[in-house]
Amino acid sequence: MKHLVRTPITRGLSVAAVLGLLAVAGCGSVPSPGPDTSGQGGTTKTGTTTGGGGSNTPSSTPEAPEPVSFSTSVADGAKNVKVSSIVSVKAANGTLDSVRVSTTQKSESGSTSKVTVDGALNADKTTWTASEALDPGSTYTIRMSGANSEGTQQSSTATFKTQSLTLDEQTFPTVFPGKGTTVGVGMPVILTFDVPVKDRANVEKHLAVTTSPKQTGTWHWVSSTEVHYRPKTYWQPGTKVSVDGNLNGVSAGNGVYGQKSVATSFTIGRSQITKIDLKRDVAKVYRNGKAVRTIYVSAGKPGWETRSGIKLIMSKETNKRMTNQMIGAAEEYDLNVAYALRITNSGEFLHSAPWNAGYFGRVNSSHGCTGMSTADARWLYETSLIGDPTVTTGTNRGMEKVNGWSDWNISWNDYKAGSAL
């Protein structure tokens, strides 16, 4: 609130000097500010004057503060608003108390629920900004409240409707590993999309990975529908990993937008790495750097050589049926495998193979899988985590880039180059 303050007259001045000062102070009257015609915030300013007809006494009534007013980044009543829009609200002549942006959605079963857009106020509480984009074909309501410098409250609402999108204009993301899981030290974060992403950089800008303890890592685009994240070296055992994909409404290019946001958090377990030497047909399992088991194996025979390289355990299966037709082999077989660990998309497994017992540790005689005794396969099955590395050496056949989770067969510099940022 503004107050007029009189300046005291210094002792010792002459009467003439005092009269002179008074004469100077009385030159003209206090002008009225008049009404505000700017149209900002729909408010006007008013002023008061007194002492017309030559009186020079200023008004003792202070000017009333203007009420707080609000402005929104999306116009009230707007239609076909892009789902990639980030809503913001600003306050003039005061501060914001709260902002709520919400819509009502209907599920496939017909039930309705209210969905609220997350956001936050800036430090001086004059601007609220959403932290996520919008859903298609939805009517949103913005509810704003705030106060001016004297605490006088105001509130306002605005509504708008977003553009409608077909399923072909939306890409549905999924993330792996799942929330709350414990995985091996080689496990990458895997994000997949059901509609191709053209603007990879914009999508990647909305992906975040945090780790405790902190470790250097990067995203790497495997294809237009799949992006992975891994650290520079294997994860440290016990690492906590959190992933946030704030993708709802984010432009993926070509008129396609993210259909939803995704998030997950998981833990890295103990280190367990299986090293398989196919020149000697022996595997050694190392846990936290110490050898804990030696396993004699038999792998792919000539023409069906097992791939050398770093492969990750992708799934754990029991009573797995394996036939020659599954891999296009001429030699007929139809087998039931008690314990199997998948390590490629093309059908390589670490598995129990009692029918090949005579070859373990001696000769490679399979159609590409690495076989072992049932006892060893059961032990490996029970002690393994999804994402545990298997390092195979001793053959001239290498791993293909997209045949399973082959992230660790790529140098760090090449892996970083696969980022869109």
Instruction: Return the active site residues.
Output: 351, 369
Q: Exposed (0-12), middle (13-18) or buried (19+): which is 4, by Cβ within 10 Å?
A: exposed
Q: For residue 341, give the nearest of 403, 395, 384 by alpha carbon.
A: 384
- DSSP annotation string for 85-109: ---EEEEESSEEEEEEEEEEEE-TT
The radius of gyration of the chain from alpha carbons, rounded to an integer in Å, stands at 35
> What is d(CA 169, CA 195) in angstroms, rounded to the nearest whole number?
8
**Residues listed for the chain:** 421
Q: For residue 402, give the nearest of 161, 252, 192 by alpha carbon.
A: 192
> What is d(CA 295, CA 377) in angstroms, rounded to the nearest whole number?
9
> What is d(CA 279, CA 396) in angstroms, rounded to the nearest whole number?
11
- The dihedrals phi and psi of 227, each to the nearest 5 degrees, come to -135, 135
> What is d(CA 7, CA 274) in angstroms, rounded to the nearest whole number?
89
Q: For residue 169, give the nearest of 195, 191, 192, 202 by alpha carbon.
A: 195
- DSSP annotation string for 350-380: EEE-GGGGGGTTT---BSS-EEE-HHHHHHH
Judge whether 395 and 356 are in contact, CB under 8 Å: no
